[in-house]
A = this chain, B = another copy of it.
C-alpha cells in the first residue's frame, strides 16, 4: 500500500467519525486537540460502561453468573482503564462540553490517584475473575465500582 493510499485511509479513520465531525461542525471548523481528547474520553467511558454493565448485573444477581463471560468483561475493563490516562490532556481543559468538574484540574494529583486506583482495582478484578469464584469476583467488582464512584462523586457533574 502506498503512502498516499494510506493517508486517504487514515484521514477518515481519524477524523471521519460521527462524533468528531459533529464536534467540528459545532465549532465551525476541524476539532481542536482538546475536543478530540474529550470525544475520545466519552467514547472510552461508553466502551467501559458497555463491558462493566453485564458484570454489574451478575454481581447484583440480576443475571445468572457466567464465569467465562464475567472474566472476558473483566479483562476488557482492565485493558480499557489504563487508556483513560491519556483522555485528560491539558488541552482538554478549555472544552466546555464535558461533565468533568473544574476541580479535577485544580486537584490533578488527587484525580490522577483516583484514576490509578481504578486501573489497579480493575487489574485485580481481571485476575480474580479468572478464578471463577462468584463471591470473590463480586467483591473485586464492587472494589472496582467503588473506584469509579469515588472519582465520579468528586469530579463528575451529576446527571
A interface residues with partner B (beta carbon < 8 Å): 1, 3, 6-7, 9-10, 12-14, 16-21, 36, 39-40, 42-47, 49-53, 56, 59-61, 76, 79-80, 83, 97, 99, 142, 145-146, 148-149, 152, 159
Contact = CB atoms under 8 A, between A and B. Distances in A.
A149 B9 contact: yes
A31 to B, nearest CB: 12
8 contacts: A6-B56, A6-B145, A9-B145, A10-B52, A10-B56, A12-B159, A42-B43, A47-B80
A16 B17 CA distance: 21
Contacts of A10: 52-53, 56, 60, 145
A21 B99 CA distance: 13
- Which 5 pairs of residues, A with B, have the shortest CB-CB distance? A43-B46, A43-B43, A16-B159, A79-B79, A10-B56
A153 to B, nearest CB: 10
A53 B14 contact: yes
Contact of A40 (B42, B47, B99): B47
A44 B42 contact: no
A41 B88 CA distance: 22
Nearest to A99: B18
A27 to B, nearest CB: 16
Given A1-B142, A1-B146, A6-B142, 16 more contacts: A9-B145, A9-B149, A10-B52, A10-B53, A12-B152, A17-B45, A17-B49, A18-B97, A18-B99, A19-B19, A20-B46, A40-B47, A43-B44, A43-B46, A43-B50, A76-B79
